[in-house]
Amino acid sequence: MGGGRKRRRRDGSDAPPVMHPRNRYAAAAPDFAALASLYPSFAPFVTVSGGGRASVDFTDFAATRELTRVLLLHDHGVNWWIPDGQLCPTVPNRSNYIHWIEDLLSSDLIPRISNSSETVRGFDIGTGANCIYPLLGASLLGWSFVGSDVTDVALEWAKRNVESNPHLAGLIEIRNANEAPCSSKSETVAEEAVRENTSEPVDSVVRSIAPIFVGVVKDSESFDFCMCNPPFFESMEEAGLNPKTSCAGTAEEMACPGGEQAFITHIIEDSVSFKNSFRWFTSMVGRKANLKLLVSKVREAGASVVKTTEFVQGQTARWGLAWSFIAPRKNVIRSSTPGKVHHSFMLQGLRRGNGAFQVLKSAETFFCASNLSCKTDSLSFSIDVTLSDEQTQAATLDGDDLPGSVEDDSTKVHSTVTGASFRISVC
């Protein structure tokens, strides 16, 4: 079909996604010309067009590194540097991730771990030489962090970046994941835990990935969250296919066997063994196609809550995946669930011209496949669906999975949610 429709947002609008509203760059992008006048070292990387518009070549590693340095210094009071060849982060994009985690924590859906301190504590998987998440989280919100990595250069420069900021140094600890016992024992622990919590084991991944939590997180240690900017690619050749960005970054930062899908799957596997040590597990996802599969893996692992979001900076989109094994607060569920409300869902794969009966049967098949109790009334073209207590919690807290209305060219399906049951009607 020609001329595809605009993709609609979850709120029903056609507006493009935007930065997090608390991101300091949401209202206005960095003023390159002003920064160049304040920081002479940045001036050579700024080009001003005939119309007076200042720009930066983002395919130039030196330019993006200097931009990151001046933004961290100017807007966050952070001294920062990385050597050539290391992954250079963009400050606005990384800030989006920090503020999203702030939203997760402040929502109070998941109660704090009883033995955690008042200071929010995060664990950054693969912090890199840039150590960007601990530096941003500590400077913006006063959070404390443990950052882990595996290469000597990353560990050395992450520590240097922490030490260059004495006002933040007491909040950030860097750990060498290579010092963790990487043995078959750690694999067995994770695999046994997955089997205990799922009807089917989570898919296996290449075991060359370094330890995530096992041996890195200490006994009786607890965190409010973990975060990760995983290796997105399966090879460095694949990483270099985007001509619009600088392909700076080490092989450990950019690629791993199986790409981000394998790496995040490994986090999911390990998270089962550490479900009582973290309030939230989170990761960035580079490809939307992987997001749905990873959400399924998280659910298979037995998570009580799963949340997703979209991060946007310019033309670049990334996604966030968060999950927890801790039971949600019941009072939050009650207060956020109106007695009667309409929601939206999608039935995919229906052919044009399907009648109301075919749509009704497709809806019945969908909900039965989700292990929900269904009672179909063919005379009124409706289905009464009943959820268990656990399913009610998951549906209430994860907006992506709530039932609602679906429509094609000829048929509309409506649902009304009341308590732990709802009715699907075709009209």
Binding positions: 94, 126, 149, 229
- Binding-site members for S-adenosyl-L-methionine are 94, 126, 149, 229
Number of other residues whose CB lies within 10 A of the CB of residue 6: 9
